[in-house]
Structure 1
């Protein structure tokens, strides 16, 4: 996972990020790979660190980044 050691989030933001992660993963077809979850989680962390607090926006950005990510 990328370096997020200097990121700090309030409990309510962690809840928003968790909901965005869960709803993002729920939209993916089975089987969901751990690399997909990692990409989504990193995107949500980065986007929330930049100040985004809307669950739908966090989810949209994460899924867009996943779609644009190079395939392994």
Structure 2
């Protein structure tokens, strides 16, 4: 699995195609619906993270190095 937003989009569309299969049994539909719910939940987290990264990048683009002390230090232990 690749870790890019375009790959996430591919996975979401693949799940949509599985849900659209017309010859699924009720049990298969239930399984795919649960799977879709899990995928969407994870996709929401991934897109929230991407949105946060974009917001940080915009702040840096607008304010430069001076904004860095106000951003959380990712990867460092909290004091």
Same structural fold, with TM-score higher than 0.5 when normalized by the shorter chain: no
Q: Aligning the two structures, in what range does the TM-score lie when normalised by the shorter sequence?
A: 0.3 to 0.5
User: TM-score under structure 1 normalisation?
Assistant: 0.33
**Bigger fraction of residues in helix:** 2
Higher relative contact order (CA 8 A, sep 6+): 1
TM-score scaled to structure 2, two decimals? 0.31
